[in-house]
Amino acid sequence: MFNRKAKWIWDNSDRKAYHHYIQARRTFTATAGQLKMPMSLLITASSYYQVSLNGQVVGHGPAKSAHGKRSVDTYDLIPFACVGENQLLVTALSVGAGTMTAACEDAGLIFQINVGSKSIVSDCHTQVRNDPTRQKFTSRRWIMPCVEDVDASGLAKRSGWKSATVVDGSDVELYPRRVPLPSREVLPVKRIVSTDTVALPNVNFTFITKPYLADPNEQFLCNLHQKHAYIISELHSPVDQTLALTPSLGNASWWINGKHMVNANGWSTNAFNNKSPRVKLAKGKNLLVGICTRSHHEDMTLTGFANKPVTVKNPFGKGMFAFVTLPQEAPKITGKAQLTHDWSSEPGLIKRINPAHSFVDGSSQTLAEGARLLSKQDALVQQATLDTITLPAAKDGTASRTIIDLGVLHNGYLCFEAQASAENGRVIFSMFEAIKEDPHVVIHWPGMNNALCYRPAAGRSSFESFFAYGVRYIAIHHTGKKPVTLKNLRVLTANCNMLAQGSLQTDDPMLNAIYKQGVQTQLSGMDDTYTDCPTFEQVNWNYDNRTTAMANYVTFGSDAITQNSIRLFSEDPHFQGMVRSQYPSDWENFIPLWSFHWIMWVRDYWWQSDNTSFAKDMMPCIARGLKHALSLRDERGLLSMPGVWHFVDWAQGRDDDHAVNAAEQAGLLGALEAAIQLGQALGKTF
């Protein structure tokens, strides 16, 4: 696909560095005549990229790919090119951790610019540097990559460029993108809901814990991990005062000075149940203990309010916390026993914690979710315009909060132009799906990190988010002492050029509304595959997306999305029998019923499309899966699978956790029937 001179490149850092952003640039010249001819860019990366030409964003990528493979994107550069010198700028990210939505690989970037008969390629002549706008450590977006925190003052930095390092990409199989590029349809602000003055939590710290909880061979996976382990830290208070915790994420049972505070979890903030656990802090040291629980997650955050600033310290060394691991069978240390226990004598004490594994204010969402309403500024709502939003100055440690409505839920990239008179605090954009407005605005928070932070620089700057977010409403929090103006705030949709092909019109208005809502729900849950939800996971689950594909047949009719969503499972090199339940992913998760539904999904698609060529491509994977399943029958001929996730439905009170599960027997029969139908249609034995 690429010119043989094009090379995989990176900087000289570890190619599995944790959430490390680089910039790569290459210049080329174009004549007036060349602008009348085709000019294209081929590009892909591991893990993600955003590419601009002459300061205008061209696109994001790559599309989801299996381990060992990478989808290559092709862009038309003519709309962005100019006569004379042109500069291509790529921001690329090494995730350096397992996620639920991608395959973690060694970082790398490769591209090729075609200008007439000339090609400009990524090689040692490309310049790279650490991205100066993205240097702050942040918490993870649940089991997706980390929260974006962008310092616009870094845009003015001109130094730091070095020759790229050519890296080995010989083991990566490249293929052309299978689905259309993101649609980038503009979603403008439809209304301003409210403007308020709020107080943001002034205690906000994050511990990265997975490196100390997961086995070494699990560090770059997204599997569940569990150890009998304790986070040991100290909260240093300048005075006697009360600490009130606000919703935060992380799988731990938290105790302060021997008092139990909350059993938090990393899946959502629901454990707080709209309550704010309180504890009295003594002047000086206060013992903080977190008892770790079973977790997918990389980090844990605690957020709250105190009258005076609180600092967090590791009692035994650098950073903010230490770790103590105990034998699994050892009794838990709880209550006042934590205050008298000699933690320093424990053989499992880990004193030396990487200082980069703890930081403050790296979780933007918990700051937004924990905000306290101080006063409403309704007059500002009446004065505002939709294309120019002025964020009021914040006073005395408060923040202004402006809530805007895009009118419809979508998955897309947040964009705006900012005007500031000085480097001016921070602007937190917290994105969510729903509010209640009678009589007061109540936000239905998504329960996970769906926010980003932008730190304005003096003058004018433009921004487009690196990731796509599920969003209808945005709560914009501004902490600066001078106003900041946002112009042309919008979201550019990330669904892959989906256009509705079907419609439904009846004499029942409610039925029409349900259909319309269903179509929009489906549209917001598609990027380069179907996904289960735009805000929470963005995962290609096979059973969930089999049902989505059924709806797609009569709404959007997108063969490309359906094929890509199905094919990725067949390309998984690590599950060579029954397919895993979601892919691409670094979670080695297996739900038997989901595997059977994947086979039935292939049959469904053949029924709808009569595409026997695609079905033939999938049959070897189907045959391997069925052979695997049939090998697991017991002496009665029933599928028997102890020790796996026998998931059937989320309904409470179900009794599905049995090696022999009735729903799975039915699923296997359905998969066998589907395979027989496909085999008969193809006229071949597999």
pLDDT class for 103, splitting at 50, 70, 90? confident
512-682 in CATH: which number? 1.50.10.10
Residue type, 245: L
| pLDDT for position 438 | 78
What distance in Å separates the CA atoms of residue 77 and residue 35, rounded to the nearest whole number? 9
| pLDDT for position 669 | 98
List the structure tokens of 424: 């001016």
Q: Is the dihedral of CA 521, 527, 528, 531 positive or negative?
A: negative
Q: Are 92 and 25 in contact (CB under 8 A)?
A: no
pLDDT class for 358, splitting at 50, 70, 90? very high
For residue 682, give every residue at least 6 positions away whose Cβ sits within 8 Å of its Cβ, in sequence order, or none: 612, 615, 616, 619
pLDDT digits (tens, 9 = 90+) for 232-257: 999 999 999 999 999 999 999 999 99
Q: Which of 377-386, 492-501, 640-649 has the lowest mean pLDDT?
A: 377-386
Q: Is pLDDT above 80 for 357?
A: yes
| pLDDT for position 337 | 97
How far is CA 10 from each of CA 417, 476, 488, 646, rounded to the nearest angstrom? Answer: 30, 35, 34, 42
Q: Is pLDDT above 90 for 422?
A: no
Average pLDDT of 17-21?
A: 96
Q: Is the dihedral of CA 409, 62, 66, 501 positive or negative?
A: positive
Q: Is pLDDT above 80 for 190?
A: yes
Residue 55 has a CB neighbour count (10 Å cut-off) of 9
Q: Is pLDDT above 80 for 467?
A: yes
pLDDT class for 652, splitting at 50, 70, 90? confident
Average pLDDT of 466-493?
A: 96
What distance in Å separates the CA atoms of residue 58 and residue 515, rounded to the nearest whole number? 34
Place of tokens 């009719």: 557
Among the four given CATH numbers 3.90.330.10, 2.60.120.260, 3.40.50.10610, 3.40.50.12280, the one describing domain 203-362? 2.60.120.260
pLDDT class for 546, splitting at 50, 70, 90? very high
Mean pLDDT taken over the chain? 94
What distance in Å separates the CA atoms of residue 83 and residue 165, rounded to the nearest whole number? 30
DSSP 248: -
List the structure tokens of 247: 């919703």
Q: Is pLDDT above 90 for 339?
A: yes
Average pLDDT of 82-100?
A: 96
| pLDDT for position 247 | 94
Place of tokens 């105990």: 326
| pLDDT for position 275 | 84
Q: Is pLDDT above 80 for 45?
A: yes
Same fold, 9-131+157-176 and 203-362: yes
Alpha-helix runs per DSSP H in 168-300: 210-213
Average pLDDT of 22-28?
A: 98
Q: What percent of the chain has pLDDT over 90?
A: 87
Residues 387-415, buried b or exposed e (16+ Cβ, 10 A)?
A: eebbbbbbeeebbbbbbbebeebbbbbbb
What distance in Å separates the CA atoms of residue 464 and residue 414, rounded to the nearest whole number? 6
Question: What homologous superfamily does CATH list for 9-131+157-176?
Answer: Galactose-binding domain-like (2.60.120.260)
Average pLDDT of 418-425?
A: 86
Q: Which of 7-16, 418-427, 520-529 has the lowest mean pLDDT?
A: 418-427
pLDDT class for 377, splitting at 50, 70, 90? confident
pLDDT class for 447, splitting at 50, 70, 90? confident
State yes or no: cis peptide before 216, omega within 30 of 0: no
Q: What percent of the chain has pLDDT over 70?
A: 99
186-198+371-493 in CATH: which number? 2.60.120.260
Phi, psi of 590 (to 5 degrees): -135, 120
What distance in Å separates the CA atoms of residue 363 and residue 618, rounded to the nearest whole number? 42
What distance in Å separates the CA atoms of residue 58 and residue 78, rounded to the nearest whole number? 11
Average pLDDT of 459-465?
A: 96
pLDDT class for 273, splitting at 50, 70, 90? confident
Q: Is pLDDT above 90 for 502?
A: no
345 in the Ramachandran plot: left (φ > 0), alpha (ψ -120 to 50) or beta? alpha
pLDDT class for 61, splitting at 50, 70, 90? very high
Q: Are 279 and 242 in contact (CB under 8 A)?
A: yes
What distance in Å separates the CA atoms of residue 278 and residue 77, rounded to the nearest whole number? 56
Would you kindly state where each structural domain of the chain is located, as residue ranges? 9-131+157-176, 186-198+371-493, 203-362, 512-682
Among 111, 144, 142, CA closest to 10: 111
| pLDDT for position 448 | 79
The structure's pTM equals: 0.96
| pLDDT for position 296 | 87
| pLDDT for position 622 | 98
For residue 652, give every residue at least 6 positions away whose Cβ sits within 8 Å of its Cβ, in sequence order, or none: none
Residues in the chain: 686
